[in-house]
Amino acid sequence: MHTKLVSRILLAFMILLLLGALPLMAQDEGEVQELGTGEIEINFWSGLGGPDGQSMTDLVTRFVEENPEVTINYQILGWGTFFDKLSAAIVAGSGGPDLMTLWHSVVPQYALTGHIMPVAEQMFNLGMLDKDDFSPALLDSVAFGGEVYPVPFDNYGAGLYVNTHLLERAGIAVDDPPESGEEFIEYIRRLTWDENGNTPNDAGFDAENIEVWPLSIGWHRITITPALYQWGTDVVTPAPDAEVLIDSDAAKEAVQYYHDLVFEHHVLPGVNWSGELMLNDGLSMYLDGAWTYNFYNTNMEDGQIAFWPYPRLGPERGSTIMWSHTLAVTSNVEPDVLEATMRLIQFLSDNSREHSIKTGMPSARLSLRTADLAEQIWTFGPLTTQMAAEGVPEYQSERFTEVENIMGAAYSSIFTGQQTVEEGLDDAAQRIRRALR
Amino acid sequence: MTSKSVSADRSNPSNWTLTNKRREAIAGYLFLVPYLFFFLVFLAGPVISAFVTAFVEWELLRGTYRFIGLENFQLIMEDDLFWIALGNSLYFATMTTVGNVIVALCAALALKSIRLGHTLFRVVMYAPVVLSISVIGIVFSRLLAPFGLLNAGLELFGHDGFNYLADPNLVLPSLSLTTIWWGFGFPMLIFLAALYAVPEALYEAARIDGAGRWQILWQVTLPLIRPALLFIIVTQFIAHIQVFGQPYIMTNGGGPGYSSYTIVLHIYRNAFSYYHMGYAGAMALSLGVVMFIFALVQFRLLGRYTEY
C-alpha cells in the first residue's frame, strides 16, 4: 500500500516536471550573458534577436576580448516586452540597463522625460564620432533641445520582396519595378493565379480558389506609413507639439488605396507572416523590412527572391520609411561606466559595416555604406538608394507606444472588415488625441 | 472570588499563569503570523495602495503624482476602450463559466459512473490545469492557425476551415474554448467531491419513486450540489473576467481590432506600457466593483440551500 502511494506520488512529480520543463525549453531570450571578467560592469539590454542579435552578440564579445577591464551583462529581450520592462526598470531606479537599443521613434518617450542622456552629443564633442558621418535627417529625429541623444547604430527601411519565378511566369522583368500606383495594381492582377492558372485579367478567374496570392501587405508600419507620406500626411506631427493627422482626407485616401487592394484585388491583409508562402511560390510580392533579407538569403534557391524599392503609390512624392536602432545611455550611469560605455558604442559604430554584411541592415555611418556592399547584399542597392533620395524617418511621439497600439488596432479593424476606412481612422484619431492630452 | 481579588492577583507577576485554552489560542495566533505578514505585505498593502492610486494622477515616466479626486473615474466614462474591453470580458467570462460548468459537471458525472480507469481519466482530464498559459497559448495558436491542425482536420471532410483567431466573430469563442479545455479539470474535481457527498439513499428513494435519470439529475443531484455549483460559478466568473494571458499571447494583445481586447489587458497597458498608473488604478477599482456586484447577484440567485 505504502509503496504504491510513493510510486504514484513519484509518477505525478515526474509528469509535473516534464510539463513544467516545456516553457523552459522554449525559452531562448531574456537570459543575462555575462561577457568578460573586468571590474567595470556595463548592463546592456538589446532588442535585436535572430541574425541581428547574433551579429550584435559577436561584436560585444569581441569588445570585451579587446577590453579586459570591462564586463558586459548582456541581455537580449524581445521587442514585444522590451519597452514595458525597460520603462519599469528605469522608474524603479535599479536593475535596468546602462546601455540599450532604442527605436529612434520611441526616443522622445525617454529623452523628453530625462531618463536618457545626450550621449551622442558628448561623443561628438569628444571626437569619438564624427557628426557629419550620419544622415542629418536621422540625427534631427533624435535631437531635443539642440542636443543629439542616442547614437544611431543602423539605418534601415523597407521595400518590396518579389518572387522571380512568378515574375517570369507573368512575363515581368526583374529589373522593371512598378512606377505608379496604377501600374502596381496592374502587376498585382498579373501576379495572381487561381487553381486553373487564370489571372483576374482572364475570363473565368475563380476568386474563391486562389493558388498564388499577389501581395501580402505585412506590418502596417512598413506598408501604410510610407503611403501616408506619399499622400503628403502622417500619423501625427513630430513631438513634443504633436498634431493628429490620421483622420485627414489625405490619410483616408492613402489607407483606402490599401483597403481596395485587400477587398478588390485579393491582396493578403498581412494578418500572418507570409515569408514561407513566398518561398513556396504561393506569394508573388511581400512588403517587408530590410531585416527579412537574412531569412530569404538563408532559405531561398539561388535568385528566387529579389528586392524592389517601396513603390510610388501616392500623388505627392515617392517615399520610403526610415528607421534606426539607436544606442542610448541612461541618465544615472556612473562616470567610469559611462566612459567604458562610450568606448563600447564607438566600437559598435565603427564595426557596423560588419553588422550590415551579416544582417542586411545598413550602417548609420555614411562612410561605411560603401558601393561594394551592394554586390554582397542584394537588398542593399535599392534600399540605400531610395532611403538617400526619399527616406522619411518614422513619426515620433512622446506617447509612441500608445499611438502605435491604437494605429495597429485601427488597421486591424479596417483590414478585417470590422470598420470602414473612415470609421477606423476617425476612431483612432479620437483615441490618439485623448492619449496626447 | 471577587473582581477586586482577581485584579490584585494579576498585578503580581508570579500569578501570571495561562490556562491551556489561552495557551492554545496564542499558539494559534503565532502560527497565523507568517500568513498575516505576507497577507498584509502582498495583498492588503497593494489593495490599499491601488485604492489610493485611483484618486491620483500618477505618470510614472514623467514623475508626476498629485491628488485629482474623481477625475480618473470621469475619464473612464469617456474612454470607449474601457467599455469595449469590459463588454468583451463579460462576454468571455459568461461564455467560459457556463462552458466550464457544463463540461466539468458532465465529466464529473461520467467519472462517478465508471469503475474501470476512473483514476486514469481523472488524471488525464485534470492534467491541462497544471500547464502554464504560455504553453497553452502557443500550442493553441498553432492549432487554430489558418493552416493549423484543426483546419487540416476539417479539410479531410471537404471544409475550408476558419480563421479562428483573425475573425472578429470567432476570436472570443475560440479563446473561450481554449480556456475551457485548459481549466475544466479543477471544477470537475469540486463537482466530483460534491457528487460523492450526496447520500446514495436519496438516489435509491428517487428510483423507487419511479424517477428517471433526468429527473434524478434535476430534482436530486443538482439541488444537493448547489453549494458547489455556487462556488464554481462565482470563482470561475471572477477568474475569467480577469482574462489576460490568452489574448496577450494568442491574439497579439486583443485583436483583430479590439475584438478580444479585455479589461485586464486595458489596465495592464495603461499601467505598464503607457504609465498612467492612476488611471489604471481607477479602472482596477471599477473592475473590483463590477465583480462584487456580479458575485452578489450570483449569491442571490443560487444561494438557497436544499436539504432532504
CA dist A406 and A70 (Å) reads 42
Helix ranges (H only) for A93-195 are: 107-111, 119-125, 136-141, 164-170, 181-190
ipTM > 0.95, yes or no: no
Higher per-residue pLDDT: B11 or A196: A196
User: What pLDDT score does A17 carry?
Assistant: 43
User: What pLDDT score does B305 carry?
Assistant: 64
> Does B254 lie at the interface with A, CB-CB under 8 angstroms?
yes
Of B60, B80, B261, the CB nearest to A91: B60
How does pLDDT run along chain A (437 residues), one tens digit per residue? 454 554 555 455 445 444 544 444 444 456 889 999 999 999 999 999 877 889 999 999 999 999 999 999 999 998 888 988 888 888 787 788 999 999 999 998 899 889 999 999 999 999 999 999 999 989 998 999 899 999 999 999 999 999 999 999 999 999 999 999 999 999 999 999 999 999 999 999 999 999 999 999 888 888 999 999 999 999 999 766 789 999 999 999 999 999 999 999 999 987 678 899 999 999 999 999 999 998 999 999 889 999 999 999 998 777 888 899 999 999 989 999 999 999 999 999 999 999 999 999 999 999 999 889 998 999 999 999 999 898 888 988 888 889 999 999 999 999 999 999 999 999 999 999 999 98
User: What pLDDT score does A319 carry?
Assistant: 83
Contact state of A416 with B79 under an 8 Å Cβ cutoff: no
CA dist B303 and B228 (Å) reads 11
Of B78, B163, B269, the CB nearest to A405: B269
Q: Based on the number of CB atoms within 10 Å of its own CB, is B209 exposed (0-12), middle (13-18) or buried (19 or more)?
A: exposed
> Does A113 lie at the interface with B, CB-CB under 8 angstroms?
yes
Give the mean pLDDT of B244-262: 94
CA dist A258 and A230 (Å) reads 13
Per CB-CB distance under 8 Å, the chain A contacts of B256 are: 271, 412-413, 416, 418
Per CB-CB distance under 8 Å, the chain B contacts of A434 are: 78-79
User: What pLDDT score does B181 carry?
Assistant: 96
DSSP assignment of B62-104: TTEEEE-TTHHHHHHHH-HHHHHHHHHHHHHHHHHHHHHHHHH
Q: What is the pTM of this model?
A: 0.85
Radius of gyration, alpha carbons of chain B: 26
> Does A88 lie at the interface with B, CB-CB under 8 angstroms?
yes
Task: Give residues with Cβ within 8 angstroms of A349, minimum separation 6.
Answer: A129, A151, A153, A327, A363, A364, A365
Of A15, A109, A409, the CB nearest to B257: A409
Angle between helices A220-230 and A249-264 (to 10 degrees): 130
Q: Based on the number of CB atoms within 10 Å of its own CB, is A169 exposed (0-12), middle (13-18) or buried (19 or more)?
A: middle
> Which CA distances in Å does B73 have to B11, B31, B62, B76?
56, 41, 21, 5
Cell numbers 513603390: residue: A311
Task: Give residues with Cβ within 8 angstroms of B112, minimum separation 6.
Answer: B192, B195, B196
Grid cell, residue B257, equals 481590432
Which region among A301-305, B193-197, B263-267 has the lowest average model confidence (pLDDT)? A301-305
Cell numbers 459568461: residue: B94
Q: What is the least distance, in Å, from the CA of A418 to any CA of chain B?
A: 7
Per CB-CB distance under 8 Å, the chain A contacts of B145 are: 272
> Does A243 lie at the interface with B, CB-CB under 8 angstroms?
no
Would you say A212 and A163 are in contact if contact means Cβ atoms under 8 Å apart?
no
Contact state of A412 with B60 under an 8 Å Cβ cutoff: no
> Which CA distances in Å does B132 have to A272, B50, B64, B183?
24, 27, 37, 11
Q: What is the least distance, in Å, from the CA of B77 to any CA of chain A?
A: 13
Cell numbers 538589446: residue: A46
Domain ranges for chain B: 14-72, 74-306
Would you say B56 and B75 are in contact if contact means Cβ atoms under 8 Å apart?
no
Contact state of A90 with B61 under an 8 Å Cβ cutoff: yes
Task: Give residues with Cβ within 8 angstroms of A331, minimum separation 6.
Answer: A114, A115, A116, A117
Contact state of B168 with A416 under an 8 Å Cβ cutoff: yes
> Does A402 lie at the interface with B, CB-CB under 8 angstroms?
yes
User: Looking at the predicted structure, is the pLDDT value of residue B7 above 90?
Assistant: no
- Residue A134 is given by DSSP the state B
Give the mean pLDDT of B186-214: 95
Give the mean pLDDT of B155-165: 90
User: Looking at the predicted structure, is the pLDDT value of residue B150 above 90?
Assistant: yes
> Does B124 lie at the interface with A, CB-CB under 8 angstroms?
no
User: What pLDDT score does A302 carry?
Assistant: 82
Contact state of B253 with A87 under an 8 Å Cβ cutoff: no
Per CB-CB distance under 8 Å, the chain B contacts of A12 are: 123
Per CB-CB distance under 8 Å, the chain A contacts of B261 are: 409
User: What pLDDT score does B2 carry?
Assistant: 45
User: Looking at the predicted structure, is the pLDDT value of residue B247 above 80?
Assistant: yes
Strand order from edge to edge, sheet including A325-329: A32-35, A70-76, A40-46, A99-103, A325-329, A151-152
CA dist A430 and B273 (Å) reads 19
> Does B261 lie at the interface with A, CB-CB under 8 angstroms?
yes
User: What pLDDT score does B193 carry?
Assistant: 96
Q: Determine whether domain B74-306 maps to CATH 3.10.129.10.
A: no
Which region among A310-319, A350-359, B6-15, B143-152 has the lowest average model confidence (pLDDT)? B6-15
Give the mean pLDDT of B101-112: 96
> Does A11 lie at the interface with B, CB-CB under 8 angstroms?
no
